[in-house]
Structure 1
Amino acid sequence: MIIRPQGSLQILSYQEASQLCDVSQSGLNELLRQCALAVLNTGSNEDNMLTLLNKYSDFDIKVSVKGRGVQLIIKNAPRHAFVDNELIIGLKEHLFAVIRDLLYARNDVLESGHFDITRSHGITNAIFHIARNAGLVKPNVLPNIVVCWGGHSISEDEYQYSKHLGYELGLRNIDICTGCGPGVMKAPMKGALLGHGKQRYQEGRYIGITEPGIIAAEAPNAFVTELCIMPDIEKRLEAFVRLGHGIVIFPGGAGTMEELLYLLSILLHPENRNIPLPVVLSGNEASRGYFDAIIDFISDTLGPEACELLEVIIDHPRDVATKMKTAMETVRQDRKASSDAYYFNWRLKLELDQQQPFIPTHESMHNLNLHKNQPIHHLASQLRKAFSGIVAGNVKADGIREIEKHGPFKIVGDPVIMKAMDRLLQKFVDQKRMKLDASDYNPCYTIEHPEDHL
């Protein structure tokens, strides 16, 4: 099947087309194939990248440049991506967003020599350019973006609650940014779309930010209208906090804890103490135990200073939306007073260790510094990496291969931290929050906490 452009990409050079068809290790074809298959598989209940690749092992995509522009030649794609043999328009837009971002990140950022990605500011600058190229950076717009984090494996009641909160945000003309996948990443967008419609708000934005390693587990949902694929999870996380003006965290699993710990590693940094970035944890009454477990874990590992940064609001979506609407004015005043941009939070201080890609291997997971003899924002960053490794072992192709080859990751550290982590992860397993098909979940990790050290 031949597909022509829809959305943000209209033309390519012959060199760019060659890169996308290059099947060598340095080429982009395999990365394009994985991301394109994930996009075309939107709506399925599969969150295992390796299983998806094996299921559609004969899927193929090539790019050609004709006189009139770009053509995609797709073979053996998932049938549910088509209606009457025509690719769904939203999926077509997402497909060309994948091509746009893969090429731009490779050619204009990572390998251009224009960005020093060995330094913190260089990485932030690269993220800004990728986001701007994707159309996410919009000048002359007041702070209005609420980032919604949460799991793709949630209950129906939690889904309905997050949709209701999205509706309340939409009624207040607030735009939504999520990880773009199913579950809590989809529900607030769906609710906001209804709220925006009732208010006749025509400028509603539904921003999805992802990265190649997670896109199969969290394929872009149908409500995403502005999709951006960052090169890795660290740049994805930084894009959230730079572009967003407030954050709502819903129930989730290991990935949501990774996001929360990443956020705490920033908010706990001494240089960020006076920068407003409102954070609310929220869910329905049935999720109260989940949030109690989260706060207990944060208290046991990072202490009361970290807990004070978090507000939990249970079963009151209107209150959360009102709080976020009020906070937008606080953020606006702060950005105006500091001459910082409304569309990108340049002032947040991130350390290089928070920005450089963490590759979960058995060695890197075992060597994490999970002890309390360090500043708490450093410990939060190390804990974030531990959960990042668990996410990789659950749903990312490379992580799954690593587990299949060498067995579970071994996580070691301070006994108090290890016991707290063990308790929290067991709750996630018991509540079936680790994967979509969690009926026979086999942990990709072991937690070591020698009792004789207590």
Structure 2
Amino acid sequence: MNNAIKKVLIRPVENMQILSYQEAQQLCDGNDHGLNELLRRCALAVLNTGAKEDNGLALLEAHPDFRVNVNVKGRGIQLEIENAPANAFVDGEMIVGLQEHLSAVIRDLLYAKNEIIDNPEFDLESSFGITNAIFHLARNANLMCIDRDPNIVVCWGGHSISLEEYKYTKHVGYELGLRRFDICTGCGPGAMKGPMKGAVLGHGKQRHKGARFIGLTEPGIIAAEAPNAIVTELAILPDIEKRLEAFMRLGHGIIIFPGGAGTMEEILYLLSVLLHPQNMDVPIPVILTSSGNHKGYFEAVLEFIENALGEEARQKLTFIHDNPSRVAQLIKKGVQDVRFHRKETSDAYFYNWNLYIPFELQKPFKPTHEGIAQLKLHKNQPPHKLASELRQVFSAIVAGNVKSDGIKQIEEKGPFQIHGDPEIMTRIDNLLKTFVAQRRMKLGTENYVPCYNIITENKGA
């Protein structure tokens, strides 16, 4: 491995210096119930911020000698890091923002395991129990601000985008910053970094103090979308489902830029929530926006949604092409509606308790060949349920493209076999071919090899 720092000693920031011997042992423990391997993966991703890589397995293989040991000292804990990426240091000192992110990793891994997952007081087998757990995770990460009106705009989109698209995300972020919005993203590069970078300038022009740049991630995806350097508040949720729910509970409006399979997964998750009958009166402004010659992504997505899920699903999404100020204006109006609704229903501004998310959307979904083959991909069900099933298709594709566990599955068992209604299968196939043609499936891949097979013949679904 080139350009590695052989050994460095780091003290975590703030309260993460104060850990018990038991917590330190958990972070060093490499067995099935320990946290060391999870810490190693997340820490490597954080310290590798800025690298042009979206393959979690490749990142681990490129740094086989990277190690993190946790030692308890009289004045707190000390991290002993071996073979760390050199780009995380300046003149031998770790970059402060990355040190903060590393401390957030330790905080969230320990809290999730000890206070949530292994705590019998939290019922993770019920819908309310999971929502309550996410609240506690977010509060422990200091993501709750009780003295602010609703102003968090969630931005989704691809981490592998063109320079023109990246500049457009910055322009939208700039318009949001001029309107003093805080930004929340999946914390990675591309469409997750651009809005934050643009908002920095907008906030600066408005002399807006205390701006927030929130990044939400999870261990399975962090290697593909390592936290960018602008993120000031990082939270690592235990799995993708809790991460997605956290976006919807904490955010007040959503802007979606072009992406790939991961962005499509987010859109389908969003629709499976918004289309549920119990959420018909809950306002959440959602805007899809693209720039220049990149209109084709959302044209294909919206065509798929309208044909697979119906006109009602299409109406939940507003599409604006190449108009950053209009995007920000509509989000501002939508967030004002959110504030009015929260006030009228006595719901918290900082956490959307009223939103109903069914348990089947909250359960962690681990893509397996057996599970994918059993998905109910047919129209003989309510649109919100079909959206949920379709979301799992794209979750599997993301896993097979970039997550280390998913990549291993594909290597061992071959591509996922996706069956269902012939019409829906044909439309999924066409949509995925569009993503491949636009080179949106995997960062830096010219000849993409699919991790899936779409079976278009009728299998009795």
Q: Give the deviation of 1:324 after TM superposition.
A: 1.0
1:40-439 to structure 2, matched below 5 A, reads 40-439=47-446
The separation in 2 between residues aligned to 1:152 and 1:9, in whole angstroms, is 30
Distance 2:140 2:206 in 1: 30
CA shift for structure 1 position 6: 2.2
Matching residue's letter, 1:262: Y
SS of residue paired to 1:287: coil
* Partners of 2:426 and 2:456 within 8 A in 1: yes
Q: Secondary structure at the match of 1:75?
A: strand
Aligned partner letter, 1:50: L
1:191-215 deviation line (CA, Å, top 9, x unaligned): 0011001100012100000000000
**SS of the residue aligned with 1:147?**
strand
Instruction: Return the offset for 1:348.
Output: 0.7
> Structure 1 vs Structure 2: percent identity of aligned residues?
63
User: Quick one: distance in 1 between partners of 2:322 and 2:114?
Assistant: 47
Paired residues of 1:8 and 1:93 also in contact (CA < 8 A): no
Q: How many residues align?
A: 454
Give the match for residue 16 of structure 2.
Answer: 9
Look up the SS of the partner of 1:312 in the other structure: strand
Q: Distance in 2 between matches of 1:138 and 1:85?
A: 36
In the alignment, the residues of structure 2 paired with residue 224 and residue 257 of structure 1 have an alpha-carbon distance, to the nearest angstrom, of: 23
Cα distance in structure 2, aligned partners of 1:428 and 1:221: 24
1:7–1:42 Cα change, 3 Å: farther
Cα distance between partner residues in 2 of 1:156 and 1:445: 29
Retained in 2: the 8 A contact 1:98–1:229? Answer: yes
Once the two structures are TM-superposed, the CA of residue 10 in structure 1 deviates from its matched residue by 2.9
Q: 1:14 to 1:201 in 2, by over 3 A?
A: same
| Conservation of the 8 A alpha-carbon contact between 2:273 and 2:279 | yes
What is the Cα deviation at residue 247 of structure 1?
0.2
Q: Secondary structure at the match of 1:323?
A: helix
Shift, 1:453, TM fit: 9.1
- The separation in 2 between residues aligned to 1:352 and 1:373, in whole angstroms, is 21
Q: Greater CA deviation, 285-294 or 392-401?
A: 285-294
Residues 421 and 458 in structure 2, CA contact (< 8 A), matched pair in contact too: no
**Superimposed CA distance per residue, residues 311-363 of structure 1 (whole angstroms, 9 cap, x where no aligned partner):** 10000000010111122211111001000000000011111100000110100
- Give the Å deviation of 1:97: 0.2
- Report the 3-state secondary structure (helix = DSSP H, G, I; strand = E; otherwise coil) of the residue aligned with 2:97: helix
CA distance in 1, matches of 2:303, 2:103: 43
2:34 aligned with 1:24, yes or no? Answer: no
Encode CA deviations 1:85-126: one digit per residue, 9 max, x unaligned: 111111000001000000000000111111100000000000
Q: Please, what TM-score do these two structures have when normalized by structure 1?
A: 0.99
Report the TM-score, using the length of structure 2 for normalisation. 0.97
Moved over 2 A (4+): 6-10, 451-454
Structure 2 distance, partners of 1:159, 1:88, is 24
Q: Please state how far the C-alpha of 1:451 moved relative to its aligned partner.
A: 7.4
Encode CA deviations 1:372-406: one digit per residue, 9 max, x unaligned: 11111011001011100000000000000000000
Compared CA separation, residues 453 and 13, structure 1 to 2 (3 A): closer
Give the superposed CA RMSD. 1.2
CA drift of 1:300 comes to 1.4
Query: d(CA) in 1 for partners of 2:80 and 2:132?
Result: 34
| Runs (5+) with no aligned partner, structure 1 | none
How many Å separate the matches in 1 of 2:11 and 2:458? 62
CA distance in structure 2 between the aligned counterparts of 1:322 and 1:70, rounded to whole angstroms: 47
The answer on whether the counterparts of 2:174 and 2:195 sit within 8 Å (CA) in structure 1 is: yes
